[in-house]
Structure 1
Amino acid sequence: MKKYTTSLLLAFLFGFLFSCSSDSENKEVPDIVAPDLAFSIAGFPKSNTSPIIVSKSFEININAKDEGGISKIEAFINNEKVGEDSTAPYLINIDVSTFTSKIANSQKYKDYVLKVTATDKNENSTSTEQIIYIDNEIPTISAVSILENSILNGDLNEVSFTVTDNQEVVAITAFLNETELPIVEGDTLKINISTLNLTDGPNTLKIEAIDNAKNTTSYTVNFISDNTGPEIKLNSLIEGQIIDEAITLNPIITDAYSEIDSLRISINDSIIFKGLYANEINYNLDPENFAIGENVLNIEVNDNLDNKTTYSIRLMIHRRLLKITLENGTINPSYAKFYVFASDTNGELLDIKEATISSTELILNTAADIDKTAEFMITFAGFSSGYADFSTLSTIQNITRDNLKLINLKTPKRESVVNNKHYKVINNQNDIEINGYGSFYNSSYFPENDSLHVETRELINSNIVHSDKIYLKSNNYNNNVYSYLLLDAPLPDDNFIIDYSKFISDGVEKRFYDAPFTMSDNGKSTILTLFGYLNEADFNQESGHLLWNQGKALSSNFNPSNGILYSLDTQFTYYRYELQLEDYFTKRIGTPLPYYSYPNWSIDFIQNGNNIQINSTGMEHTNGSIFLENSDGINDIYRWNIIFNSQTTSTVILPKIPNELNSWNISQSYNTNNLDVQQVALKRYEGINSYEAYLIHSIKPNLSSRKTTDFMETIFKNPTYNVYRDIEDLFIIY
């Protein structure tokens, strides 16, 4: 039993010892080794042991190793936890914006202990510390001498400024747009801005400062670069433009950035305006103050930065002779060519302009230095062709630039035939003449078939209302019985019959006019043309009826005791007449006078080629006229009327034919000194006491002699026919 017991005991002990030996071999050794740890502050050397200055926030990079693994990385400032990271690579961003930077009393940096602790998974930890300074104040940029939106120009523009910081500024830079500028150090910092290579307009100056905590500040100021002068626009002129009258220069001057300061206007080297700029410039440029020919107008403008712009334009200074305005349709479409030209007193051409049916204005000027009192002449010339070549000219002489500056040509009344009818005439056994003429009709009697031809016309360019009557008259020369028939217009159709028995003499009176007739056999005569107007409206519209149109040859065999007989139908309200008495002619309103006295004038002429010597007497006349017309014109016809100052003119020099008219039929007659003078005359218009007054009162508004005054008289000489040719001064227009 003991043995058993001993054996059992031995067996138990052996098993216990064996068991203990196995447990001892399998038990783990405890981890008591702390992690390896190192850290650095971003932006600073890893080996830096001196205090590091940080600002607001900074990063730390941590290198931590442990065989059992890292559980966490913690950062502390003065034992206040400020960050943690548990994932490699380890990085902690630390915000220190709430920490004070300095010790209040000493204004020295306050020491802060940055501690980084690495803890492994067995709670073993390692800590590393670094003294840091915290600087949360950025540098200050101040006293910058350039203001926002300042305007700079030129090469030298100094800008001064100061930079301060609570500790130390380590870097200052300045940029002009994207280009760095050199900084000159001194009591103040200075830079220079050259704008010469800058584009005009907005630019930017930027100043940056960095302290030793890498606190960065910047100062940006925008400014304007302006190296360009003001812009000048002068829309009223073009290069080489002819200036012949005063014009207003109103240049439009603008500057994109600067204020406009001063203005100078000159012609060539002569300053005509100089002064400070106003908001609007209106300068009157009168060419009379400058020499004729080429001149250069210069406009110089400076802004308040002394940027200058010069605008130059070449101008041709001429002397304005005359302006002519034309209403629509003034030029007759029958003219193939129409010109207006000016000539000096010797007939030399000064200027010529062509007119067409669409022309509304013609300006005649000259490069000749003609003063305002120097005389010249204007000629209107038209050419037409058809059954014959026809040259028509009207010349106005003794014009000056002062006495006639403008002619307003009006569209004459033009008519077209609307009816041509023949009417049967009955009860005219003696074939007594019947006729009628008015402003819109004319009629002729054909005794061979007892018919009266009546032509009626209408105006194609006027709203004038004609009379509502047609007046037919008959004068029996055997018994001097004057009768008439007043019919409603328009006449009925072709079946209408004119009954001569209905002609009456009611209201007809026998009248006489007389004058100091010479009664010699010299071929002189008297002719009376009398018109009547039924009412005031017809008179104002010149819608009259011919009442009398007869003449008498005056000879030694004709010696009327009471004067010249005529018949007057007294039913009309207004009358107008034209009367020739030998070499005297007059136009008047009313009925003829019983007796006429001739004015104490005389006129004769001597033609010497294209010069015509005028021999005249008398003081009351103002106008002279010459009418040229070829006597043998069949296929080539010319008519030329010239008016002149009868009180000052003794020789009329015809203007030379311009090259533009060389192909006209009148050119050959002119060049061969073969122009025929048909008539010369002296005239007086009642109420117009000088030739200059006539130019203004009649020529300027383009009035006919009938509308010029109610009274005109003339003494004339017509060596061919002894009959006055009543030619309007501007007959070319009518």
Structure 2
Amino acid sequence: MPFSSLAKSTLLLVAFLLINSCSSDSGENDLPPDVTPPQLSINISGFPNSTPNTPIIVSQELIVSISASDAGGINKIEAFIDDVKVGEDTTSPYQIFIDISNYTSKNAINGKYREYTLEIVATDEAGNSSSLTQLLYIDNELPVISEVNLTADQVLAGNTNEISFSVNDNEGLSLVEASVNGQIIGSFTEPPYMVNINTFNYSDGENTFEISATDEAKNTANFTVPFIVDNTGPNISSVSISEQQILADLSVLTASIADIYSGVQSVTFLLNDVILSEFQSGDPYEFEIDPEEISTGEQILTIRALDSLQNLSELNISVLVKRRLARLHIPQNYFNESLPSNHYLFASAMDGTILDAQMVSSQNTVVDLFAPGEYGLEEEFMLTFASTVGVNANNSFLNTYQNVTRTQLQDLTLPESRRFIYTGSNLYSKQDLDPQSELSLFGADYGLSSDESGNTLVDNFIPDGHPYDSDILYAYLFNTLNGSYRAQVISEPVPSDFVFVNNDFETINNVSGSFTTNPANYLNQNASRLELFGFESQESFDNNIFHKVFGYGYGSNMLTSFPYISSSYFSHYSHQITIGMFHSEGPGLPSEVYTIPSWDITSNYSGQTVNLTLNGSGHIVGKLSFSDQGSSASPYEWVITFDSQVSNEVIIPELPVELQSGQLNQLRDSGTLELLQTELRDYENVFSYDDFINDLVPINSYNRRKITRSDGIISNDFGGFYWMPQNNFFGVR
């Protein structure tokens, strides 16, 4: 079918466009091809200035940074060692990490470095490539550090400690450094390798020494060794004597001394730089110190310890050397805290001047008195126990022991309290009691009294701070005209409706006894009196839980034999007898015969001195008793005990400052104390005043009559009456 004119025109246009298009393509294919290789440069980490034909020494790993450019673009970067591909990177920036740890370093034949060629090839998109090479020596062997003359945990001291070592490498070393605790103390590029450790720059204890050696291939070897610094002497601890401690007794100086690093080489104890003792071993180290061999006053004890490195430790202790006069131990609950009172212990020279004084209370368990300076072991002094009682401290009780030496009373322990507290009185009736008989009822924790109307009262007491009391009341009726004695034991607790009935008093337990004197007429010529006390058991006897069993006295010219009644109810007894100027007391029942000693004591009291004239032999102890017997507003008792074999005068000691404001001090200073009684005494089985001080005074107990029998001659104005002080120590407790 023939084409139309429009169709023909369209075909001609298409043909024209195709011809023109083909003509354009054939023109481009006629351009020259891309044959230009990329521009290339490389940088090997650690070797910024390397040259291709000069080998560099490397080890373990190569890090190659590549700079490559090309007009047509970079296709890839490759790395080869001796034509063996070892890495590739296709992304800019180009960097290739090459592991060379498995390459051998040396030629096995000649032992020299084996030469390797590193080649970096850059290839562009047209397949053009360029390359760069670098000669390599590969060294994977670490330096060797040896012959270090510092061993693990070696102990160093001082400022000079030379440490030497060797470092070797298969090719060559670039740097060797030595450090302590991370601080470099030496850098080397060649031997000898030697450093000094000044240990004063480091702390005692564990430190670390390190050597770092780097070869030319950057292989680094490290050597680390711990060591000990010891610039300190041994540790001195647990010292038994403290600063400013008083040394008065034989003392043991002990110390624990140890050195954890170097060991203790020697220990020396010194006094004022004079060697007392030296030790090569011990722990604890100890030495006995006798203060009697040291002058009094402040002294310096030194403990000097040396370790095996010659480090020295020294401990100086300032001590006070004193001469103890006496030590007093005070038991718990000894003093009555409810009673307003003050108590003092003081020592005086034999001329009466104060040596030392201390206040005593329940808070003091131990009280020491010291001489102000040197005081000989046999040099005598006086020891006084003083109490003031009352709100105004106007009642005074003192006991002084003279002729005491430092060898005595170094550990005097007061007896524990056997105090009782009054709890009230009970009224009891009497029924048909013999009007000629006297009712007596008195014991450690009970007593007889009467009210204003004359009714009979029984006073009751309970123990204060101790468990000892009686479980009975002992009452007796004694007819002074015919000597009739009847007794009744009343069990505790006593009923409130109890009645004293005449027929309840019996003689069933009566035991008759009597005593006389030698010479026989002494009893008849003097007034006499007996007090007899019974105890239910040994425990009661030891703790003075007594019951009065008999108590009566006769005038002169009445007796040739003194009769009395005891009771078989009691297992133990004590007694007190006074006949004229003779006095005896002690445990048990009275002796059958009392020999009156031919002793005599007269006194002349003037000022602060009592001059004595003593006659007779066999007496051991003398006593002076001063008292106003409560006749003044400031009553006092003061007993001074002395050695009757050596003393012909007694000086009344000064009072300490705390006691000088009262009336007693005025009476003492003016010489107007009332000398109530003087006496000379001996004690059974006690043969000297030293025995008395050493053996009897320390064991003074609640029952003064239980210790041992004592006989004496007294001088007073009473005749047949013995004035007895309240206590042998502190007067009121």
TM > 0.5: yes
1:79 equivalenced with 2:83 (yes/no): yes
1:37 equivalenced with 2:40 (yes/no): yes
Q: Per-residue deviation at 1:432? A: 4.6
- Residue in structure 1 matched with residue 402 of structure 2 by the alignment: 397
In structure 2, distance between residues paired with 1:592 and 1:99: 122
Q: Per-residue deviation at 1:86? A: 1.7
Q: Which amino acid letter does the alignment assign opposite residue 375 of structure 1? A: E
- Residue in structure 1 matched with residue 378 of structure 2 by the alignment: 373
In structure 2, distance between residues paired with 1:643 and 1:89: 116
1:348 pairs, out of 333, 349, 353, with 353
5+ residue gaps, structure 2, are 1-17
Q: Which moved more, 1:700-709 or 1:464-473?
A: 700-709
Q: Which amino acid letter does the alignment assign opposite residue 409 of structure 2? A: L
Q: Deviations over 1:114-149 (max 9, x none)?
A: 222222223233333332211111212211111223
In structure 2, distance between residues paired with 1:129 and 1:218: 34
In structure 2, distance between residues paired with 1:706 and 1:521: 25
Cα distance 1:657–1:166, how it changes in 2: closer, same or farther (>3 A)? same
Q: Per-residue deviation at 1:627? A: 1.0
State whether residues 518 and 595 of structure 2, in contact with CA within 8 Å, keep that contact through their aligned partners in structure 1: yes
Q: Deviations over 1:203-228 (max 9, x none)?
A: 33332222222222222233233333
In structure 2, distance between residues paired with 1:17 and 1:580: 172
In structure 2, distance between residues paired with 1:130 and 1:508: 138
Q: Per-residue deviation at 1:28? A: 4.0
Q: Deviations over 1:457-480 (max 9, x none)?
A: 333333224152432213152xx1
Cα distance 1:484–1:260, how it changes in 2: closer, same or farther (>3 A)? same
In structure 2, distance between residues paired with 1:329 and 1:484: 39
In structure 1, distance between residues paired with 2:46 and 2:678: 117
Q: Which moved more, 1:563-572 or 1:720-729?
A: 563-572
Q: Which moved more, 1:197-206 or 1:672-681?
A: 197-206
1:316 alignment partner, SS class: strand
1:577 equivalenced with 2:575 (yes/no): yes
**Aligned 1:157-196 pairs, distance under 5 A:** 157-182=161-186, 188-196=192-200
- Residue in structure 1 matched with residue 728 of structure 2 by the alignment: 729
State whether residues 173 and 180 of structure 1, in contact with CA within 8 Å, keep that contact through their aligned partners in structure 2: yes
- Residue in structure 2 matched with residue 23 of structure 1 by the alignment: 26
- Residue in structure 1 matched with residue 8 of structure 2 by the alignment: none
In structure 2, distance between residues paired with 1:676 and 1:495: 48
1:303 equivalenced with 2:307 (yes/no): yes
1:657 equivalenced with 2:662 (yes/no): no
Q: Per-residue deviation at 1:639? A: 0.7
2:666 alignment partner, SS class: helix
Q: Per-residue deviation at 1:445? A: 7.8
Q: Which amino acid letter does the alignment assign opposite residue 675 of structure 2? A: V
In structure 2, distance between residues paired with 1:239 and 1:503: 70
In structure 2, distance between residues paired with 1:379 and 1:84: 111
In structure 2, distance between residues paired with 1:410 and 1:457: 20
- Residue in structure 2 matched with residue 6 of structure 1 by the alignment: none
In structure 2, distance between residues paired with 1:21 and 1:719: 170
1:692 pairs, out of 690, 693, 717, with 690
Cα distance 1:128–1:93, how it changes in 2: closer, same or farther (>3 A)? same
1:223 alignment partner, SS class: strand
Q: Per-residue deviation at 1:277? A: 4.7
Q: Which moved more, 1:418-427 or 1:399-408?
A: 418-427
1:273 equivalenced with 2:277 (yes/no): yes
Cα distance 1:314–1:16, how it changes in 2: closer, same or farther (>3 A)? closer
State whether residues 514 and 564 of structure 2, in contact with CA within 8 Å, keep that contact through their aligned partners in structure 1: yes
1:695 alignment partner, SS class: helix
Q: Per-residue deviation at 1:354? A: 0.8
- Residue in structure 2 matched with residue 441 of structure 1 by the alignment: 446
Q: Which moved more, 1:228-237 or 1:130-139?
A: 228-237
1:228 alignment partner, SS class: coil
Cα distance 1:247–1:541, how it changes in 2: closer, same or farther (>3 A)? closer
In structure 1, distance between residues paired with 2:571 and 2:577: 20
2:292 alignment partner, SS class: helix
- Residue in structure 1 matched with residue 141 of structure 2 by the alignment: 137
Q: Per-residue deviation at 1:106? A: 1.2
Cα distance 1:366–1:335, how it changes in 2: closer, same or farther (>3 A)? farther
Q: Which moved more, 1:427-436 or 1:646-655?
A: 427-436
Q: Deviations over 1:331-374 (max 9, x none)?
A: 23335211101122222222111111333211222232112222
1:68 equivalenced with 2:72 (yes/no): yes
In structure 1, distance between residues paired with 2:447 and 2:679: 30
Q: Per-residue deviation at 1:486? A: 0.9
Cα distance 1:521–1:79, how it changes in 2: closer, same or farther (>3 A)? closer
In structure 2, distance between residues paired with 1:561 and 1:109: 141
- Residue in structure 1 matched with residue 4 of structure 2 by the alignment: none
Q: Which moved more, 1:663-672 or 1:576-585?
A: 576-585
Q: Per-residue deviation at 1:377? A: 2.0
Q: How many pairs does the alignment contain?
A: 713
In structure 1, distance between residues paired with 2:615 and 2:519: 20
Q: Deviations over 1:409-437 (max 9, x none)?
A: 02332223334234333435856543333
State whether residues 523 and 722 of structure 1, in contact with CA within 8 Å, keep that contact through their aligned partners in structure 2: no
- Residue in structure 2 matched with residue 553 of structure 1 by the alignment: 555
- Residue in structure 1 matched with residue 676 of structure 2 by the alignment: 678
State whether residues 256 and 283 of structure 2, in contact with CA within 8 Å, keep that contact through their aligned partners in structure 1: no
5+ residue gaps, structure 1, are 1-14
- Residue in structure 1 matched with residue 515 of structure 2 by the alignment: 513
Q: Which amino acid letter does the alignment assign opposite residue 408 of structure 1? A: T
- Residue in structure 1 matched with residue 389 of structure 2 by the alignment: 384
Cα distance 1:697–1:72, how it changes in 2: closer, same or farther (>3 A)? same
Instruction: Give the TM-score normalised by the residue count of structure 1.
Output: 0.88
Q: Per-residue deviation at 1:325? A: 0.9
- Residue in structure 2 matched with residue 586 of structure 1 by the alignment: 584
In structure 2, distance between residues paired with 1:179 and 1:278: 40
Cα distance 1:229–1:48, how it changes in 2: closer, same or farther (>3 A)? farther
Cα distance 1:444–1:96, how it changes in 2: closer, same or farther (>3 A)? closer
Q: Which amino acid letter does the alignment assign opposite residue 155 of structure 2? A: I
State whether residues 343 and 351 of structure 1, in contact with CA within 8 Å, keep that contact through their aligned partners in structure 2: yes
State whether residues 239 and 315 of structure 1, in contact with CA within 8 Å, keep that contact through their aligned partners in structure 2: yes
1:598 pairs, out of 588, 596, 599, with 596
1:358 equivalenced with 2:357 (yes/no): no
In structure 1, distance between residues paired with 2:195 and 2:182: 15
Q: Per-residue deviation at 1:267? A: 1.6
Q: Which moved more, 1:346-355 or 1:575-584?
A: 575-584
Cα distance 1:608–1:131, how it changes in 2: closer, same or farther (>3 A)? same
Q: Per-residue deviation at 1:18? A: 13
In structure 1, distance between residues paired with 2:545 and 2:66: 122
State whether residues 389 and 732 of structure 2, in contact with CA within 8 Å, keep that contact through their aligned partners in structure 1: no
State whether residues 418 and 702 of structure 2, in contact with CA within 8 Å, keep that contact through their aligned partners in structure 1: no
State whether residues 38 and 123 of structure 2, in contact with CA within 8 Å, keep that contact through their aligned partners in structure 1: yes
2:228 alignment partner, SS class: strand
1:203 equivalenced with 2:202 (yes/no): no
How many percent of aligned residue pairs carry the same amino acid?
30
- Residue in structure 1 matched with residue 120 of structure 2 by the alignment: 116
Q: Deviations over 1:591-647 (max 9, x none)?
A: 444433212333222323222233223443322221111368320111111222222
1:244 equivalenced with 2:243 (yes/no): no
In structure 2, distance between residues paired with 1:724 and 1:587: 11
1:723 alignment partner, SS class: coil
- Residue in structure 1 matched with residue 411 of structure 2 by the alignment: 406
Aligned CA RMSD, in angstroms, stands at 3.4
In structure 1, distance between residues paired with 2:710 and 2:177: 98
In structure 2, distance between residues paired with 1:618 and 1:629: 27
